[in-house]
Structure 1
C-alpha cells in the first residue's frame, strides 16, 4: 500500500470518519488501465479545443461512485463501481452500460455472496467484458459477461485477503493485478472460454493498481512498493521490475500503452505537508522519464489515449474542487479541461477516463457538503457546432 500520513490522538468519531476516508481513497480513487478494442489511429478531429459537453449520472442508488470506464465504441461503453460506499460490509458492486442513448445497469447472475466494490473493467469485444474487485466472501471478485448479464468466474488459486485493483483483456487473454501478503500479485489466463486455466504469480514487495498489455508478450503493470513508484514489465520471460527515477513518496495508479515504444503512467507523490503532487512518467522505448503537468497539486487517477500519441488524464484539482478535471497531452503541450462550475459546495473526482471514436468520457463521483456520494459522468469534446462534436 502507499504511504499515508499518520495521525495520532484523534477522537473516536473523527477516527471512524478518517478510516472510512482512507478506505474510500484506496477503494474509489484508483483507476485502471484497459485495452479499448475500438482504439484507432486518430483522425485528428480531437485536435480542436475540447470543452465539457455535459455532465450526467448513471443513476446509481444512494452513495454511488463509478471507479472505471472502458468501451469499444461511442455506443458501447461500460462503467463499474459501487453503491452504498459508506458501508464497507453492505456496499454493492455495480456494472452499467451506455448504448449511446442511456445507461442501463446489468446484473450478475446466480451469485448469492455478491460483489463489493468493482474497481476495474476491460472490454475484450462487444460480447466479452471483464470486471474485477472484491467479493463479500473475502475473495477477489472476477466477472465476465455482456449486455445479457454477467457471471462470476472462479479462480481456484485465489485466497482470502488477496486484492485485485486492475484488469486488461483481449481476445484469448486476461490479466488482473493487485497484491497478496504485501507483495505484487498477477493472475493471468491464456483463454477466455469458460473453464480456462488461470495461473498466478507473486512479484516484489508492493501493490499493483493498473495494467495494460499491447501484445502477447509485452505489457506494463504499475503501483508502488510503499516508498516509491513501481513498474513491472511483461516480456517473454514473465514480469520483471524496471528501473525508474528515484521519486520518494511516489505511487502510480494507471498506465496506458500505445505500442512497444510509447506508454504513459500516472499517479502522485505524497508531500510532507500531506498534499499530493501529480506524477506522470512516459516510456520512450528505452527509459521511463518524468513529465510534469502544469498543475502542481492535482491528484491523478486514470489515463487513456487515442493510439496516436494524445492522452487524457482524469483526477481531482483541489484548487477547483467543485469542477470535473482532466488533463490532455498532445505529445508536446498540456491542456487543462474542466467541467462546468456548480454553485453548491461539492467535491468532484473523476476516477477514470476512456476515449473511443472521438468521444472522451470520464467517470467518478460528486461528494456534497453532507458527505453524500452521487455518481458522475462527464463528456468532453470539441465545442458544439464544430465538426466531430459528440453531443448526446
Structure 2
C-alpha cells in the first residue's frame, strides 16, 4: 500500500479527550431507516438523521430521548445530505431512482411538522443526483452533486458538477467552472458562511504530461463569482496532489477545513485565508476514510471532527474511531460501548459544538447513532 507521504508516518498518536465520550442513543422505534448519510443539527439541541432503508429513503428526528421516524414522501433511493437553518426550517437532499435506470435529484423541506418535496430544475442528462446541502439562511440554501452518470451510477465522460440554489421560493441551477482538460467531474460536499460558498469534489483531467488522472476540485463563491482554488501539494504522494476533495467544512470565521485523499490515506488541509496548507496531520489510526465520501465537521470554536475505523485483530472486527482537533492536536473521542463493532461513518455538530452526533456503520437492522456532549 502506498502511503500519502513520509511525513505522515511520524504524526503522533491521538490521545483521548478527558471526560468526553460517545454514548449510544435509542433507535428501536426505527423500522425503515437502516443507514445514515448525514445529520442536520441546531444549537437548540434538535437533530435529524437522513439516509436510506432497504426499500426507500428515510428521515428520523431526535425527540430529546429517542429517534423517531418522520413521515415523508416516499421514493426509491436515499438521502445523502441535510441541513437545518433552524428548528422549523430543515432540508434533506438525495436521489430518486424510481424511473427505470434513470435518477433524479430530490430536495425535501421540513417545517417541523411536515416534509414537502420541492421542484428541482430539469437537466438534459439521463441521471442527476444531489450529494450534499448547506445554508446560510432561509433564502440561501445550496445543494451540490453531479449530472450525467450512467445507469450503474458510475461517472462517464459527460458527467459535470450540478449546483442548485434555493432563493426562498424556488431552486435555480447555478453554473460553476471546471478545470481545463476536464473529461468529467462531480461535487460531493458544500459549506456556506454568509455569502461565501465552498464546494469540493473531483475532476478527471488531462495533465500537462498528457496523462489523465483524478484531481481534487475545490471552488469558492465570494458572493459575485466562482473561483477554482488549488489544494496544497502533498509531497511524497503519487503525482504530488490530492486526487479527491471528499468533504469541506467551514469552522470559525475565516476557517475552512478540507478532507481528501492523495492515494488511499485520508488527509487534512486547512485554508489560511489565501491558500490551502497541509495538515494538521492525522494520527495513523484516523487516516482510513470510511464510507464513500468520508466525513468531516467543524464548529465555531476552532474544533473539527473526522471519522475512521481500526481493525481489532483479536476480535476480528473493525472498531469505530472519532477524532477531534482541539486547536493543538488530534484527540480520540472514545465510544462508551467498547464492544461496538463497525466503521465511523458520519459525524456532525452544530455551529456551537454543544452536541456531536455520529453514525456507526454496522450490520444491525437499525442504525447505531451516537451522541457526545461538546
TM-score range, shorter chain: 0.7 to 0.9
| CA offset digits 1:280-331 (Å, max 9, x no partner) | 1101111101111112642162222230211122233346863321111022
1:309 maps to 2:302 = yes
- Indicate if the aligned counterparts of 1:350 and 1:362 stay in contact, CA closer than 8 A: yes
Distance 2:320 2:201 in 1: 24
Q: Residue 333 of structure 1 corresponds to which residue in structure 2?
A: 329
Distance 1:357 1:95 in 2: 22
| Aligned partner of residue 51 in structure 1, secondary structure | coil
- Indicate if the aligned counterparts of 1:324 and 1:340 stay in contact, CA closer than 8 A: no
Q: Residue 49 of structure 1 corresponds to which residue in structure 2?
A: 18
Q: Residue 244 of structure 2 corresponds to which residue in structure 1?
A: 251
Report the CA distance shift for 1:277/1:50 in structure 2 as closer, same or farther (over 3 A): farther
Report the CA distance shift for 1:158/1:98 in structure 2 as closer, same or farther (over 3 A): farther
Q: Residue 28 of structure 1 corresponds to which residue in structure 2?
A: none
Unaligned runs of 5+ in 1: 1-46, 85-90, 271-275, 383-392
Out of 167-176 and 253-262, give the one that drifted further.
Answer: 253-262
Corresponding residue to 2:260 among 245, 250, 267:
267
- State the shift of 1:162 in Å: 0.9
Distance 2:67 2:123 in 1: 32
Q: Residue 299 of structure 1 corresponds to which residue in structure 2?
A: 289
| CA offset digits 1:184-231 (Å, max 9, x no partner) | 22111222x3xx252332532421111011112x12111122412221
- State the shift of 1:102 in Å: 1.7
| Aligned partner of residue 266 in structure 1, secondary structure | strand
Q: Residue 163 of structure 1 corresponds to which residue in structure 2?
A: 129
Q: Residue 241 of structure 1 corresponds to which residue in structure 2?
A: 228
| Aligned partner of residue 49 in structure 1, secondary structure | coil
- Name the count of aligned residue pairs: 313
1:73 maps to 2:47 = no
| CA offset digits 1:107-131 (Å, max 9, x no partner) | 114x6xx151100001012111101
Instruction: Note the aligned Cα RMSD (angstroms).
Output: 2.6
TM-score by length of 2: 0.76
Distance 1:100 1:134 in 2: 29
| Aligned partner of residue 49 in structure 2, secondary structure | strand
- State the shift of 1:97 in Å: 0.7
Q: Residue 36 of structure 1 corresponds to which residue in structure 2?
A: none
- State the shift of 1:260 in Å: 5.3
Q: Residue 347 of structure 1 corresponds to which residue in structure 2?
A: 342
TM-score by length of 1: 0.72
Out of 312-321 and 167-176, give the one that drifted further.
Answer: 312-321
| Aligned partner of residue 164 in structure 2, secondary structure | strand
Distance 1:353 1:317 in 2: 20
Q: Residue 52 of structure 2 corresponds to which residue in structure 1?
A: 82
